[in-house]
Amino acid sequence: MIKVNGIDIEADGTVFAGKTVAEYLSTTNYDCKRIAIEKNGEIVPKAKYGETLLAEGDSLEVVSFVGGG
């Protein structure tokens, strides 16, 4: 099981283990310029989305920003 924001992203049978964070993001509507990602409690550097591999048991938090302040 791989969780993103608490939800199992492999629940429908799609396998993300072995894929990169960038490959996961390409299946979503996230705007890469407006997010920060933590994997198992550690920030994933923006420059490493394409090389950071997802593994069984990983827990991701994708934090998305909106305007206003």
Partner 1 sequence: MSAGCECSAVGELRTPSREEMLAALVVRQGAENVQKLQAATVAVCGLGGLGSNVAISLARAGVGKLILIDFDCVDVTNLHRQQYKATQVGLAKAVALPENLREISPYIELESHQVRITEENVMELVGKADVVVEAFDNAEAKAMLVNAVLENGKTLVAASGMAGFGDANSIQTRRVSKKFYMCGDGVSDVNDGVGLVAPRVMACAAHQALTIIRIICGLENMTTKTSVI
Residue 40 beta carbon to partner 1: minimum distance, rounded to whole angstroms: 7
**Tokens in use for 31?**
């705007």
For residue 60, which of 51, 12, 52 has the smallest C-alpha distance?
52
Place of tokens 């894929």: 19
Residue from the set 36, 51, 53, 56 that interacts with partner 1 by CB under 8 A: 36
Q: Does 51 bind partner 1 (CB under 8 A)?
A: no
The least distance separating partner 1 from the CB of residue 44, rounded to whole angstroms, comes to 9
Q: Which of 5, 6, 7, 10 has its CA nearest to residue 55?
A: 10
Q: Which residues bind partner 1 (CB under 8 A)?
A: 6, 33-36, 38, 40-43, 45-46, 59, 61, 63-69
